[in-house]
């Protein structure tokens, strides 16, 4: 059952070949066996999942044909889940039981998907390797000595290892696409505002966006379709029609203009990864797409602009964690100031502290104009450059990451090197565009990601291109040796 697509599982459930309870039970057993090696889950809610599966079976018997009904999924531990721990990978929220569901959770519950638990992540989504999690890192299913990417590493690894068919994730600067590339799965970040951020714990409010990991573009389309839509509880939610993502994937891509971004193939890119990405692009060309050379010179400024803006917003958002209302509190504080200081010192990890300090610095008097304001101006220039590019092409393409998954500890003493692993992804978030990473030919037995970037609200175009590529190739069908 673990190799079946959403459509295959839904059809089998409707034909009563097995029940949702049986499917969920088998999946929980596989997680118990395999995840001891992976550590992709922080919390497993087996009893709640089986109860939800029973309700799904009842709906199926009543004739409900919702495409996700009865199918197991899991959530990145950044989405609030009523009555279940929501830790954000941090000691700060290790004891936090959310009193409500995120809108994403409610939407997927309404669609009948069965959540099995909460997935591991870099602390407060700050990281590119999953090494900053308070609970210890998830490992890459393809090589347990390598990182799965981050911050949504647990979400990517769980799909790659066949623990669940699809998972939720969040992407602030590449945190869906980079782990998808490292783990050999499909990962899509929609247009900013397409998926509600209500109940999604904030890192950088103008950049964060929820999205999906799945084994295929078709499954990702079904999952994302259920998650999208306007939410009056989120002031940044877009009140715009949602395209038929799932139905549109089968359409031809003949004539689709794909801009190959030459700036993404510079000396910083591994030559083997460049060859892999070009091989994937050649397959799209065979399917009728038209490849066009495109330059995005402002992209070289995306990483510094991103880390100034993201750190500034993190400094503001994480000020709420002070030991007063919820979360961790230092023992026996002598006064209020001591409680504030020791709570934050003891409960935040090194990377979170680094970004809070950086963000506070760039927002301080005397530095605001020099750093934060200038970064916002660069952000606008990057956005304008993308808009101009989309007057010439329908989709932009390039590698997702400059390397394959790196070894644990490879960048432990060099945070800047870690930040540069997001060099091809951060500009997308600054502009608020949708983007997807899909498997390309592997390099030395490790997955590689092809990144496709779309125009605003054009997730359906990205998913169609990705699906047609996957119909013509088998790179997304490769499975890791683990388990």
Q: What is the pLDDT of residues 26-61, one digit of tens each?
A: 999 999 999 999 999 999 999 999 999 999 999 999
pLDDT computed for residue 414 by the predictor: 83
CA distance 450 to 441: 9
Q: Could you give the percent of the chain with pLDDT greater than 70?
A: 99
Whether the CB-CB separation of 435 and 465 falls below 8 Å is answered with no
Is 175 among the residues known to form the active site?
yes
Q: Is the pLDDT of residue 1 over 70?
A: no
Angle between helices 20-38 and 153-160 (to 10 degrees): 120
CATH code 3.90.1300.10 for 6-263+274-295+388-477: yes
Q: Is the pLDDT of residue 228 over 60?
A: yes
Rounded to an integer, the average pLDDT of 147-173 is: 97
pLDDT computed for residue 482 by the predictor: 75
421 band by pLDDT with thresholds 50, 70 and 90: confident
**Residue range 72-107, pLDDT digits in tens:** 999 999 999 999 999 999 999 999 999 999 999 999
Q: Is the pLDDT of residue 416 over 90?
A: no
Q: What is the mean pLDDT of the chain?
A: 96
DSSP assigned state of 19: -
Rounded to an integer, the average pLDDT of 343-365 is: 97
Could you give the 3-state DSSP secondary structure of residue 123? helix
Q: Which residue is catalytic, options 133, 151, 165, 276?
A: 151
**Residue range 104-156, pLDDT digits in tens:** 999 999 999 999 999 999 999 999 999 999 999 999 999 999 999 999 999 99
Rounded to an integer, the average pLDDT of 383-407 is: 98
Q: Which residue is catalytic, options 76, 107, 118, 189?
A: 76
Residues 6+ apart with CB under 8 A from 398: 260, 261, 264, 265, 277, 424, 450, 451, 453
**Residue range 254-299, pLDDT digits in tens:** 999 999 999 999 888 999 999 999 999 999 999 999 999 999 999 9
Q: Is the pLDDT of residue 483 over 60?
A: no
Q: Which residue is catalytic, options 128, 133, 175, 421?
A: 175
Domain spans in the chain, listed from the N-terminal domain onward: 6-263+274-295+388-477
| Residue whose C-alpha is closest to residue 152's, from 215, 222, 75, 221 | 75
Is 165 among the residues known to form the active site?
no
Strand order in the sheet with 435-443: 41-44, 114-119, 72-76, 166-170, 210-214, 186-189, 435-443, 446-454, 395-399, 257-261, 290-294
Is 204 among the residues known to form the active site?
no
pLDDT computed for residue 141 by the predictor: 98
Q: Which residue has the tokens 């683990």?
A: 482
């Amino acid at each position: 059952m673990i190799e079946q697509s959403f459509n295959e599982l839904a059809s089998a459930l409707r034909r009563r070949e097995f029940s949702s309870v049986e499917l969920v039970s088998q999946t929980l057993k596989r997680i118990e066996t395999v995840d001891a090696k992976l550590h992709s889950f922080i919390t497993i809610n087996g009893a709640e999942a089986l109860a939800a599966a029973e309700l799904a079976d009842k709906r199926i018997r009543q004739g409900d044909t919702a495409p996700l009904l009865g199918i197991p999924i899991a959530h990145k531990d950044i989405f609030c889940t009523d009555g279940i721990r929501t830790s954000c990978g941090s000691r700060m929220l290790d004891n936090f039981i959310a009193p409500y569901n995120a809108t994403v959770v409610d939407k997927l519950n309404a669609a009948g998907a069965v959540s099995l638990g909460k997935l591991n992540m870099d602390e407060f989504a700050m990281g590119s390797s999953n090494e900053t999690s308070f609970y210890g890192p998830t490992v890459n299913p393809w090589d347990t000595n390598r990182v799965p990417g981050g911050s949504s590493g647990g979400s990517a690894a769980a799909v790659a290892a066949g623990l669940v068919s699809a998972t939720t994730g969040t992407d602030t600067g590449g945190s869906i696409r980079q782990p998808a590339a490292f783990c050999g799965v499909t990962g899509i970040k929609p247009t900013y505002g397409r998926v509600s951020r209500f109940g999604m714990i904030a890192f950088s409010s103008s950049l964060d966006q929820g999205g999906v990991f799945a084994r295929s573009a078709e499954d990702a389309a079904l999952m994302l379709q259920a998650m999208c839509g306007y939410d009056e509880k989120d002031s940044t939610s877009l009140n715009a029609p949602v395209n038929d993502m799932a139905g549109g994937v089968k359409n031809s891509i003949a004539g689709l203009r794909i801009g190959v971004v030459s700036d993404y193939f510079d000396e910083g890119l591994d030559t083997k990864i460049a060859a892999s990405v070009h091989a994937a692009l050649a397959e799209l060309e065979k399917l009728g797409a038209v490849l066009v050379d495109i330059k995005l010179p402002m992209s070289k400024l995306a990483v510094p602009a991103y880390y100034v803006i993201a750190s500034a917003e993190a400094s503001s958002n994480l000020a709420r964690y002070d030991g007063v209302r919820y979360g961790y509190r230092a023992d026996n504080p002598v006064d209020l100031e001591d409680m504030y200081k020791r709570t934050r010192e003891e409960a935040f990890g090194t990377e979170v502290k680094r970004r809070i300090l950086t963000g506070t610095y760039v927002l301080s008097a005397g530095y605001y104009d020099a750093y934060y304001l200038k970064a916002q101006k660069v952000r606008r220039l990057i956005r304008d450059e993308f808009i101009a590019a989309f007057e010439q092409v329908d989709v932009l393409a390039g590698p997702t990451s400059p390397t394959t998954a790196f070894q644990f500890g490879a960048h432990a003493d060099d945070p800047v090197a870690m930040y540069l692993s997001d060099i091809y992804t951060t500009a997308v978030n600054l502009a608020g565009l949708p983007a997807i990473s899909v498997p390309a030919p592997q390099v030395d037995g490790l997955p590689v990601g092809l990144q496709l970037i779309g125009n605003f609200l054009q997730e359906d175009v990205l998913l169609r291109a990705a699906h047609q590529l996957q119909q013509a190739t088998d790179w997304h069908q490769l499975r890791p040796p683990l388990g």
